[in-house]
Amino acid sequence: MKSSQKIVNFIKTKWQLITILLLLVVLVVQLLQLISAAPGSAAAAAGQITDWGLSFQGGSGDPPIANVSAEELANYSAYYIGDTEKKYIYLTFDAGYENGHAPTVLDILKEKQVSATFFLVGDYFKSQPDLVKRMVEEGHTVANHTATHPDMSSIGSMEAFRAELEEVERLYYNIIGSEMPKLYRPPQGKFNVSNLQQAQLLGYKTVFWSLAYQDWDNAAQPDPQASIDKLNGRIHNGAIVLLHLNSETNAQILGQLIDSWRDMGYEFRPLTELVGLAVE
């Protein structure tokens, strides 16, 4: 009897230990899930955020903190900033329509010998083929800003996503006669993980930005000097700068901005170099 009782006690002890170990495993798994979903973590940001956002918390010259890290974006061939150890600037413009400022901007870029990237919406190709051709002929990169400028985070199917980009590719080819560089910027910075994956599957590099300001509203254009002061105060190493091509203020201040940034020791580099994209 004593021997049998010992065996029973031994088995009970073993089961208790196994139960405790199983509980510990469950607790560890739950803890890891909480950590990965914690607000502000890269996993939470990539999975839940649909609006690109930046926070300038440091001093002058410090890069901003984005709501998705550069490391997390790199998993999807996406970028928002370059090497923060190098005094490089990547100048980009977004354009949905033309209101007369593009020729001035192009004249300034030519005079200052700066190469920029223009993210254009489908209608721009249809209404301004000569300007698109001039951009490419003068050494700039023309890139994809979608056919209809929708909220891309609301697009779930690959077919609908592909259609927005391939229509722009077709328009580009009809004007330039060569394939469009595979650079894409989500309209209004609206995105989700599926979009990033879809763009990557189509061979695209998704490009956000690390510096922009409220320059898009034609009815409320910012003061030129205040704009220069704000942009100079926030410029930083590796900056991907977003300016809107329809902005009268940008047309007025672009030359001064380029000169002041060069005086600060910055060098303008092509965005294609940052993302490792060869252009024909």
Catalytic residue among 149, 244, 259, 263: 244
Catalytic residue among 94, 140, 145, 215: 94
Indicate if 223 belongs to the active site: no
> Which three-class secondary structure string do you get for 13-70?
HHHHHHHHHHHHHHHHHHHHHHHHCCCCCHHHHHHHCCECCEECCCCCCCCCEECCCH
- Print burial letters for 67-103: b (CB count within 10 Å at least 16), e (below 16): bbebebbeebbbbbbbeeeebbbbbbbbbbebeebbe
Indicate if 94 belongs to the active site: yes
Active site residues: 94, 244
